[in-house]
């Protein structure tokens, strides 16, 4: 998602932000997780992560905690890409594979 917004390679790891989300099912959890990260970019200090690490994932209670490592978005430093306006439920998919989850997400740009 953040790769649409700027060139991730231009983002330095200078600070971190923590995001927590929960949902009623895996689809809802994925939606809220991405929506919370989008909010961190849209609200001051306009944080853009270079890397996001999931620190806790409760698949039974549909809760997730994560830490993003990056910096404040700055147009003088970061090339402006496509604005991601929203996460959508449209065709949102989670595929459980052995030892991992594969997701398919459409974002509104």
| Residue-wise DSSP of 58-69 | ETTTTEEEEEEE
Question: How far apart are alpha carbons 85 and 107 in whole angstroms?
Answer: 8
Query: Where are the strands (E) in the chain, listed by range?
Result: 15-22, 47-58, 63-72, 86-87, 93-97, 100-104, 107-108
Instruction: Provide the pLDDT for residue 69.
Output: 98
Q: How far apart are the first and last CA of the chain?
A: 10
43 token code pair: 């609200």
pTM: 0.92
Instruction: Provide the pLDDT for residue 88.
Output: 92
pLDDT tier, 99 (very low <50, low <70, confident <90, very high otherwise) = confident
pLDDT tier, 51 (very low <50, low <70, confident <90, very high otherwise) = very high
Question: How far apart are alpha carbons 22 and 33 in whole angstroms?
Answer: 7
* All domains of the chain in start order, with CATH: 1-108 (3.55.10.10)
In tens, the pLDDT along 80-91 reads 999 999 999 999
In tens, the pLDDT along 57-79 reads 999 999 999 999 999 999 999 99
Instruction: Provide the pLDDT for residue 34.
Output: 96
Cα 83 from chain centre: 14
80 token code pair: 């402006």
């Amino acid at each position: 998602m953040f790769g649409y917004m700027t060139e991730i390679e231009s983002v330095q790891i200078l600070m971190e932000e923590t995001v927590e989300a929960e949902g009623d099912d895996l689809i809802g959890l994925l939606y809220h997780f991405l929506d919370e990260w989008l909010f961190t970019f849209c609200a001051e200090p306009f944080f853009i992560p270079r890397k996001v690490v999931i620190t806790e994932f409760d698949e039974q209670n549909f809760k997730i905690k994560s830490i993003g490592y990056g910096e404040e978005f700055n147009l003088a430093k970061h090339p402006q890409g496509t604005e991601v306006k929203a996460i959508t439920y449209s065709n949102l998919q989670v595929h459980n594979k052995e030892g991992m989850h594969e997701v398919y997400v459409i974002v509104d740009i």
